[in-house]
Amino acid sequence: MTWRDAALPAGVFAALALAPFLGFGQSHSLTLLARAMIFAMAAISLMLLVGGAGLVSLGHAAMMGVGAYAVVVLDHARITEAWAVLPAGVGATALFALATGAIAIRTSGVHFIMITLAFGQMAFFTASSLALFGGDDGYTLYGRTEIFGARLLEDRLAFHFACLFCLVAAWALVRALLASRFGRVLRAARENETRVRALGLEPYPYRLAAYVIAGAIGGLAGVLLANATEFVAPAYLAWQRSGDLLFMVILGGLAGPHGALLGALAFVLVEEWLATLTEHWRLIFGPLLILCVLFLRGGIAGLLGRG
């Protein structure tokens, strides 16, 4: 563990905590920052799979989607209490991850990419056909999640710090997991599965556990995303969103969860900035993506590490 693994994210978290008081307190900036933090959480959870277990999932947006739709289902039943919404969102996503992961992890390499993509599409089409919750058009929430019946999260600043708290918790959890024996087994199985088996360890349950944990964190991010926008649509589960998440992880670098953190923040902010420049910002963003993958091998974290 070098200073960067702790000091760099600590600096980023401090900056995020201070941002509302340093001239980023308007509602537009806070909305953007909340979005960035939520995607950073999802990217960190995906980093556990890609960087830790070597499982390249192209269906991670479905995890956020399941979490978000759990909020929708409860909202439709007029249940908005956090102590019901949070366990439901995280639990539903963990179950979804367990069911799909149990099948997907039997495969490896390209087949794993394809099968996670297929499960993501299944979730997407299911969401599109839920006419009760708006189908393709999406669903507007009656209100944000309440805490003990108090509408605390309606306050933008309170929501900002709730997101920050969850982000720090997700980062700390993934960092601790990767450093633990669990994480070492995952990484060892990624490097050489045969040797891990020869040591008497079966990689499958470790990978499945990682998949479920990553899914649960992604589900939490989904719950927050639904709250941030107070709107949920099948587009949240689109496979392009999964591609975005994967790019955030690679953009940041695979050295540790701080990479995914930096990658996601950079992604969301650059996307926002380009979108203010031109309607056709993807024409700039696409080549940027290709160039990053081509030349920025260690990601942003690697770039900062060299300096």
Partner 1 sequence: MTATLLLVQVLNGLQFGILLFLVAAGLTLVFGVMDFINLAHGVQYMIGAYLGATLAALTGSFWFGLLLALPAALVFGLLLEVLVFRHFYERDHLSQVLATFGVILVLNQGVKAVFGAAPMQMPLPEALSGGVRIMEGLLYPSYRLAILAAGLVTAGLLWFLVERTKLGMLVRAGASNAPMLSALGVDVRRLFMMVFGFGAMLAGFAGAMAAPILSVEPGMGDNLLILAFVVIVIGGIGSIRGAFLAALIVGLVETIGRSMMPDLMRLFLDPSAARQTGAALASMLIYIVMAAILAFRPAGLFPVRT
**Nearest CB to partner 1, comparing residues 130 and 304:** 130
E strand or H helix at 92: helix 82-104
Binding site for partner 1 (CB under 8 A): 50, 56, 58, 103, 106-107, 109-111, 113-115, 117-119, 121-122, 125-126, 128-132, 239-240, 243, 246-247, 250, 280-283, 285-290, 293-294
Residues 6 or more apart whose CB falls under 8 angstroms from that of 193 comprise 203
Least separation in angstroms between residue 213's CB and partner 1 is: 20
- φ/ψ region of 236 (left if φ > 0, alpha if ψ in -120 to 50, else beta) reads alpha
Least separation in angstroms between residue 97's CB and partner 1 is: 16
**Nearest CB to partner 1, comparing residues 153 and 246:** 246
Least separation in angstroms between residue 124's CB and partner 1 is: 9
**Nearest CB to partner 1, comparing residues 80 and 242:** 242
Least separation in angstroms between residue 35's CB and partner 1 is: 19
**Nearest CB to partner 1, comparing residues 69 and 159:** 69
Least separation in angstroms between residue 215's CB and partner 1 is: 18
Rounded distance, CA 234 to CA 210, Å? 26
**Nearest CB to partner 1, comparing residues 16 and 43:** 43
Least separation in angstroms between residue 245's CB and partner 1 is: 11
Residues 6 or more apart whose CB falls under 8 angstroms from that of 204 comprise 105, 106
225: burial class by Cβ within 10 Å (0-12, 13-18, 19+)?
buried
Token pair 């806070």 in the structure block, residue: 30
Cα dihedral across residues 13, 165, 46, 266: positive or negative: negative
How many C-beta neighbours within 10 Å does residue 167 have? 27
Rounded distance, CA 215 to CA 55, Å? 13
**Nearest CB to partner 1, comparing residues 227 and 242:** 242
